[in-house]
């Protein structure tokens, strides 16, 4: 099965996903260590909802850039910086700040710790790591989300919900 990654309201990214029979082609790596791949090994790197858990993005971004071909893409998503300001109205949006939230997953309590950073700090980190920002997207909720989260989505007349930012970064 193959497809193109996209979200409603934006153009397709053209990223093929071969999701069947990944076998030994799927690798799990420690984001805090060098990746076990040669320079320029990939056309695309995907990091969905990863970086906002890290205080310092320098090494992971540099390592992502290293394994990409020139013109290759880092396709990523992070918590929208507005989420922090919405949760902590008196907090300084422009500061890089650690914060935690408690959630329940399958009946189990879990505390997730994040690092808020303003949008300019994100884009500055991308540029410093050798990327050009090609796309920034604030996608609308997925079809069916209104039935799953009626209270959260009823507050927005546009139907938008600022939860995540999606980026397509090109290696320069």
Q: Residue 82 is part of a domain; what is its CATH number?
A: 3.40.50.150
Q: E-strand spans in the chain? A: 42-48, 68-79, 97-105, 108-116, 131-137, 164-171
Please count the structural domains in the chain.
1
Domain containing residue 117: 43-139+161-171
pLDDT in tens, 37-46: 999 999 999 9
Asked whether residue 91 is domain-assigned, the answer is: yes
Enumerate the H helices of the chain as residue ranges: 58-67, 81-87, 119-128, 145-148, 150-154
Query: In whole numbers, what is the pLDDT of the chain averaged over residues?
Result: 84
Domain membership flag for residue 113: yes
What predicted TM-score, i.e. pTM, was given to this entire model?
Answer: 0.78
Say if 37 falls within a structural domain.
Answer: no
Domain assignment of residue 36, yes or no: no
pLDDT at 89: 94
pLDDT at 147: 81
59: in domain: yes
- pLDDT score recorded for residue 4: 36
Residue located via tokens 């189990």: 108
In a domain, 132, yes or no: yes
Q: Any long-range contacts for 142-149 (C-beta under 8 Å, 24+ apart)?
A: 142/7, 142/8, 143/8
pLDDT value at position 29? 75
Residue 149 lies in a domain: no
Which stretches of the chain score pLDDT less than 50? 1-17, 19-20
The verdict on residue 150 lying in a domain is: no
């Amino acid at each position: 099965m193959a497809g193109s990654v996209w979200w409603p309201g934006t153009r397709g990214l053209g990223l093929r996903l071969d999701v069947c029979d990944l076998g030994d082609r799927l690798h799990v790596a420690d984001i805090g260590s060098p990746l076990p791949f040669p320079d320029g090994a990939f056309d695309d790197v995907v990091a969905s909802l990863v970086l906002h858990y890290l205080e310092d993005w320098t090494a992971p971004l540099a390592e992502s850039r290293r394994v990409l071909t020139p013109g290759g893409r880092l396709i990523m998503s992070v918590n929208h910086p507005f989420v922090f300001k919405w949760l902590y109205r008196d907090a300084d949006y422009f500061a890089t700040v650690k914060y935690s939230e408690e959630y329940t997953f399958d009946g189990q309590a879990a505390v997730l710790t994040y690092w808020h950073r303003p949008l300019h700090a994100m884009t500055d980190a991308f540029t410093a790591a050798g990327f050009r920002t090609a796309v920034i997207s604030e996608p609308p909720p997925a079809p069916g989300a209104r039935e799953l989260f009626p209270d959260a989505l009823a507050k927005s007349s546009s139907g938008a919900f600022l939860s995540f930012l999606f980026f397509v970064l090109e290696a320069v």
